[in-house]
Amino acid sequence: MSSRGPHVEDPTQKPLALIGFMGSGKSVVGAIVAERARAPLFDLDLMIQDEAGKSITEIFATGGEHAFRKLEARLLPSTLQPGAVVALGGGALINDASWAIVAGRAVTIYLEVPFETIWSRISKVSGRPLASGRSHDDVESLFERRRPRYEQALHRVDGDRPPAEVADEVIKLWSA
Ligand code: S3P
């Protein structure tokens, strides 16, 4: 295997699943890793929006969280292609069945970021219905409820660093 990391043509390479809370850098780090490894990138939130023909905010507004989770769970398995990089939404693995699928098929890496950093990243940006307009303490308690699931990942990396550095470490773990 080349030092640049997994290659798209390796059919035996497990997909890489980046997990973590909103604002932990899954999409940004995923894009860097995919580019460096020359691997396909599946960003589940983008796929959901394509499939629905609506933004995440609109999906939540019209069908509620339930409609969003149904689409998310339906599209999730199709992201787990050999050699692919998969950036999952922060709530995609809360469902035990989805977790079992991803944990069984992918190399899971948790981008671990302290809540205060997360809050500084997400509190000023729109487009996340489970964060927009909510208080610091409400979002922090959602984070704490989900943390045990994220910590079940095979690996953890410190995500409180520039994305290129996080991506370096992720590639090493994925290639190991
Ligand atoms: C969600 C996280 C979002 C998106 C949706 C719900 C969540 O993805 O899937 O708004 O439940 O944590 P990011 O983690 O990429 O922001």
The whole model's pTM is what? Answer: 0.93
Q: Which two tokens stand for residue 103?
A: 């944990």
Does residue 90 line the site of ligand 1, with CB under 6 A? yes
| Chain length of the chain | 176
Task: Give residue 108's pLDDT.
Answer: 98
Domains plus CATH for the chain? Answer: 16-171 (3.40.50.300)
pLDDT of residue 6: 54
Whole-angstrom Cα distance, residue 97 to residue 104?
Answer: 11
Closest CA to 110 of 20, 28, 38, 33: 20
CA of 140 to the centre of ligand 1 (A): 14
Asked whether 45 lines ligand 1 (CB < 6 A), one says yes
pLDDT digits (tens, 9 = 90+) for 122-158: 998 888 999 998 999 999 999 999 999 999 999 999 9
User: Distance from the CA of 88 to the center of ligand 1, in angstroms?
Assistant: 8
Per-residue model confidence (pLDDT) at position 2: 44
Write the DSSP string, 116-133. HHHHHHHTT--S-TTTTT
**pLDDT-flagged residues of the chain (< 50):** 1-3, 8
